[in-house]
Chains A and B, each alone.
Chain A
Amino acid sequence: AQKVTQTQTSISVMEKTTVTMDCVYETQDSSYFLFWYKQTASGEIVFLIRQDSYKKENATVGHYSLNFQKPKSSIGLIITATQIEDSAVYFCAMREGRGFASALTFGSGTKVIVLP
């Protein structure tokens, strides 16, 4: 069974700096997909970025990037030049690749507080 673990419950950073948050996962599949979502203060959940397990290059979208360390089953999210609006809860999630029927499994989330 797949499992996703986020051990950092809360991180505070100064505006315009870089924040890194961790996520480790467990799966028996050789093919899988890793996602990061952001939940804003209003409760809205939005997709940020994805890493496919067969890709060696770290995914990057805007000021979000991933640190994919496959041997360690780790997928960290890096946010550079943080803004106040980046204050949110960030969820890591995984879907195993065996067909379309598997749903996303989420971690417990990391709350990021960006201080002015």
Chain B
Amino acid sequence: EAAVTQSPRNKVTVTGGNVTLSCRQTNSHNYMYWYRQDTGHGLRLIHYSYGAGNLQIGDVPDGYKATRTTQEDFFLLLELASPSQTSLYFCASSGGRVSNERLFFGHGTKLSVL
């Protein structure tokens, strides 16, 4: 079973603060994703990557940056956090070798922006 580890599990910051969410996968997957989950919206894609140095824009990218430093590590950056970014963030990974592959999810990071 693929392992996806997110840190921190909980984070509280203030408006205008700088936040970095971390994700590491240990199954040699090519693709990594950042989603946010909000009531009534399900999971919405922020950014994703198919390899180190690559970044693809998702459906709700405004206010977020991301960086894939290695095949294992994918970071989500909020440089000027706003209360609208209070959410539950999930990282996921997939092999990317065939189109019908499933995603493996981390346990999520709960972010509160006060």
Contact = CB atoms under 8 A, between A and B. Distances in A.
Say whether A and B bind each other: yes
Interface of A: 6, 31, 33, 35, 37, 42-47, 50, 52, 91, 93, 95, 97, 99-109
A23 to B, nearest CB: 11
Contacts, number: 58
A104 B105 contact: no
A26 to B, nearest CB: 14
A91 B50 contact: no
Interface residues of B, number: 28
B95 to A, nearest CB: 9
A99 B50 CA distance: 12
B102 A101 contact: no
Contact of B100 (A43, A44, A50, A107): A50
B42 A43 contact: no
B66 to A, nearest CB: 13
B99 A100 contact: yes
B43 A97 contact: no
Contact of B48 (A37, A42, A103): A103
B99 A99 contact: yes
A45 to B, nearest CB: 4
Contacts of B41: 108
Contacts of A101: 50, 56
